[in-house]
Structure 1
Amino acid sequence: MFNLALFKFKASRWQQRVLQLWLVLYSLALCSALAHSASNIPDVSPQQLNAQYWQAKPVSDEDKRMKTSQIKAFNQHLFANSEHMVHPLETQSVLDKITLDNKIASISSVPSSARFYADGTPVNPQHFQTYLDNTNRDALKNINEVQFGLVVRRSALRTFPTLDRVFNEQMDLDLDRFQESAVFPGEAVAVLHQSADQRWYLVQNYNYLAWVQQDAIAIGSKQQIQEFVEHQDFLLITGSKVFTSYVPSEPRVSQLQLDMGVKLPLLSEAQQQPELYGQSTATSYEVALPVRNDDGSLSVKTALIGRTQDVNVGYLAYTSHNLIAQAFKFLGERYGWGHDYNGRDCTGFVGEIYKTFGIFMPRNSGQQGAGEYGINHRFDDKSEISSKLAVIEQLQVGDLIYIPGHVMLYLGEENNQPFVIHDVKGLAYWTPDGNYYTGVLNAVSVTPLIKLQLNKETTYLDKIYNIKRITHNSTVGQ
């Protein structure tokens, strides 16, 4: 950093301020250059870490993006044909004992491989029996009533009704093997069962079945919930995270975190108030927010969201420009296995982006990659690398690239190599001097595609098994 005291010439106050500003800008540029030089990601420049850089590139076939009617048809086809997608409000009002028992067993089963607590203590059969006992299968009746609810706060979906964290033998403490996914405010769920300690519900949302803490769910009538989720005028959260305004008198609607893709009904003009919670509403959106009463029942309260927040009235237009913008809003967010760490993983990252266009997908990458929706280019162990490269050369922004256990979103091409943005933990590649680098990303990152390695012998390219374009043309490629 330069020291102004070193400059002995006399300068006016205006000249001194100009010089100070120049030095600040110089320092920022120097820090940026130093930060870039320390990057462990190959071939990515600081410019490539900006959405505008990729948005400025020419886009082809923009007219092939889906319109509103096509997105609706896409979702209808997916829900009708995928076993991993359900309308929770269409769940039967009662479930027989065998059906419900099978559902519990499908999520809450003892794994075949060893599990450990964070201190290295093995999870033994007695521990697992405690978790199994809390699933409360002994309480199942011949006929079991199904309830319905709305999510009132972001909450984890768990393998067992417990917050205990367990890990596999690698003891990677970032990967809690009881963490499955998450639910978000305003989501409808079918409540199938209650844990023995009465602190957890087994719930089914639109793409997952797992255990959630009971205080995250408000129970209501199916009609009340249906009217809420199908409300035609809604506010969509388009930022990575947005918070409702602070309300000292009603903590249930105060500073509530709303993640990308959450949508909440907008109040009609007749329902709006000029003043609410001791403040003017002129600069805020007034939305309906589900809250949980002391007895667990559902109420709907008004919440305020400032008009300068990253939100949109209705879904975003499904365009390349918006795809890039939405993806970059997560850039740098720490990787969260199964939506852990108040973040998301690779499929959560992709899923939340596409939800802002009103497009829904299965939860796991394998379910997405195998799904017969969109345009798919499939590969197997016998596929030639040249055939994969030929498809990659024709990629459009937002196309999804699947390898086992992972999904990436295509950004564009630079210097004749494809780049992706993805939420990923590990990083490996061969350096130009022939050394094998292994490290971590552990965050939403921009990387080249072709250079990435899974191990010394296997590249990402080797393991690509599907490249999917999210469009209404549901056909199977090669």
Structure 2
Amino acid sequence: MPPGPATSGPSSPTGEAAARKRRASIGPPVALAAALWVFCLPALAAPEPAPAQSASVVEPVIGVRDVHLAPAYWIAKARQPDRVVMTPAAIATQNLAMETIEPSLHDIESLPVTLEREQVQAWIESVSVRPTRALYDETGNEGSSRAIDRLVNALDLNRIPQTQVTRYGMVVRRASLRTFPTDLRVYNTPDDRNLDRFQESALFPGTPVAVVHESRDREWLFVVSQTYAAWIDKDAVAFGEKEEIFAHLRRAPYVVVTGATVRTVHARQEPRVSEVQLDMGVRLPLVQALPEDGLVNGQHPYFGHAVDLPVRNDDGTLSFAPALIPLSADVATGYLEMTRANLLRQAFKFLGERYGWGHSFNARDCSGFVSEVYRSFGVLMPRNTRDQSVSPALNRIEVDPGMSYDDRLELVRKTEIGDLIYIPGHVMMVIGHEDGNPYVIHDTAGMSYQQADGSLRRLTLQGVVVTPLLPMMSDEHRTTIERITNIQRIRP
């Protein structure tokens, strides 16, 4: 997800002869009728209904059948599904390159002891850009220039000291990262309620941050994490010592969340660790020493994983408290082995989850989706599609804008499970091939497809979906394949 509005990109009409040639190469008539149009905000369609449902209730995606919605189907079709794609050593090498040469990442552990005003202000102004177009609130009313003035004033830029001591904190609960220090949701149109333009991303429990500024009302913090910098609710961060924070981050043994989300058990004695949501890829160290009674918040830990969770004390400082994750929860004692089968299993755990621009709606967007899947293997990725698509730390195929349709077709037919296909503002993960047609799983807001009469029908999706790639259309004249800019292969 890019920090600003994603767009479908300029259209480029083609001749009817060329259009006929493209349609002829798409495949069987069933696929022809399903020419889909995708970009990061709107993209594909709802899955084929389960047998118990009526087709009049749920509209299927032509080219998608029930069998396509299970990872086992694609695992069975995969070549050497259990072969290790990247070893832990190879992942560590790639992560080191990512940390070293990827310009969108922040090495917050290596920040100087003091920060200069110019650096702090540059971080804030790179995110908190005054809107230049009309925005609408949740009642459909256009925001006034006076309201925008209040948001800009809330940044309190004049209070940034010339020099300040670098402060560190740790996120204690899943929390949104915002463009401005406000919960106000704003949209591009009066009737939109999905794409909040002040929503940037989210951070999960246990994430270290550098805290570099406070809002005028002292209720928001501007934080810099490894992957993103923006405003966060002050109550979601606990201040601590740098050494303590990074020691907790690296401590072993640990568990990794491998489900889409899991929750800690209810803890009446310690509400701060009660039913805390943990998203895929979150890593937490196991408790080193149990309380004297051998219980964790009144519960026997034999049937769970006892982990140390960061908590915020009344004075805002950081401490750690034991919490239990049920033994039945989808977690692993270490990062998963990166095989094609595991990549498919992890991606499909999000199937049907609500689309959430910038991790809104307690969900995630297209780039967040692929980031969290790969994080369960210990792979570090940039946050946004723009940065992911061109990252020099990954095994990138740059698609020349002038590449012919046939050459593009040959390229996508050579993709493998887990490869990431990028178009402007959107990313899709390859899950396999059927009859020469690559299939992808992706998190998207909407879709369009070509009807029998050649017209384009647009539908709302708002979720993680499975679709064939070849039928997708950008508009009446241009296939999605013609808009591919990069393919990133998370493999040697």
What TM-score does the superposition give when structure 1 sets the normalisation length?
Answer: 0.89
What does residue range 399-414 of structure 1 map to in structure 2 within 5 Å?
399-414=419-434
What does residue range 268-287 of structure 1 map to in structure 2 within 5 Å?
268=288, 274-287=294-307
Cα distance in 1 for partners of 2:84, 2:258 equals 23
Cα distance in 2 for partners of 1:357, 1:395 equals 20
Letter in 2 for 1:224: E
Offset at 1:210? 0.2
What does residue range 196-211 of structure 1 map to in structure 2 within 5 Å?
196-211=216-231
Say yes or no: does 1:299 pair with 2:306: no
Offset at 1:225? 0.1
Corresponding position of 1:322: 342
Say yes or no: does 1:51 pair with 2:71: yes
8 Å CA contact retained: 2:443, 2:464: yes
Cα distance in 2 for partners of 1:396, 1:340 equals 30
Say yes or no: does 1:99 pair with 2:122: no
Say yes or no: does 1:390 pair with 2:410: yes
Corresponding position of 2:389: 369
Cα distance in 2 for partners of 1:100, 1:29 equals 52
Cα distance in 1 for partners of 2:414, 2:293 equals 52
Kindly indicate whether structure 1 or structure 2 has the higher relative contact order, using CA contacts under 8 Å at least 6 residues apart: 2
Letter in 1 for 2:182: T
Corresponding position of 2:366: 346
Corresponding position of 1:31: 52
Stretch deviating more after TM superposition (432-441 or 92-101): 432-441
Q: Percent identity?
A: 38
Q: Classify the secondary structure of the residue corresponding to 2:77.
A: coil
Letter in 2 for 1:250: E
8 Å CA contact retained: 1:89, 1:148: no
Alignment match of 1:179 (pick from 183, 192, 199): 199
Alignment match of 1:440 (pick from 435, 447, 460): 460
Cα distance in 2 for partners of 1:250, 1:271 equals 14
Alignment match of 1:249 (pick from 269, 278, 281): 269
Aligned residue pairs total 444
What does residue range 255-266 of structure 1 map to in structure 2 within 5 Å?
255-266=275-286
Say yes or no: does 1:160 pair with 2:180: yes
Cα distance in 2 for partners of 1:449, 1:272 equals 58
Cα distance in 2 for partners of 1:341, 1:107 equals 21
Corresponding position of 1:238: 258
Distance 1:136 1:428, change over 3 A: same
Corresponding position of 1:18: none
Distance 1:294 1:437, change over 3 A: same
The structure number with the bigger radius of gyration is 1
Unaligned runs of 5+ in 1: 1-27, 474-478
Offset at 1:104? 1.3
Corresponding position of 1:469: 489
Deviation digits for residues 354-408 of structure 1 (CA, Å, limit 9, x no counterpart): 0000001111101111112322221232111112111112111000000000000
Stretch deviating more after TM superposition (93-102 or 329-338): 93-102
Letter in 2 for 1:89: E
8 Å CA contact retained: 1:60, 1:396: no
Letter in 2 for 1:31: A
Cα distance in 1 for partners of 2:270, 2:290 equals 22
Q: Classify the secondary structure of the residue corresponding to 2:459.
A: strand
Letter in 2 for 1:200: W
Corresponding position of 2:134: 114
Alignment match of 1:424 (pick from 444, 469, 472): 444
8 Å CA contact retained: 1:116, 1:168: yes
| Aligned-residue RMSD, C-alpha | 1.9
Letter in 1 for 2:171: V
Distance 1:185 1:374, change over 3 A: same
Letter in 2 for 1:362: P
Q: Classify the secondary structure of the residue corresponding to 1:69.
A: helix
Letter in 1 for 2:251: H
Distance 1:314 1:449, change over 3 A: same
Cα distance in 2 for partners of 1:384, 1:37 equals 40
Letter in 2 for 1:162: T
Letter in 2 for 1:106: S
Deviation digits for residues 54-76 of structure 1 (CA, Å, limit 9, x no counterpart): 11113259757111111111011
What TM-score does the superposition give when structure 2 sets the normalisation length?
Answer: 0.87
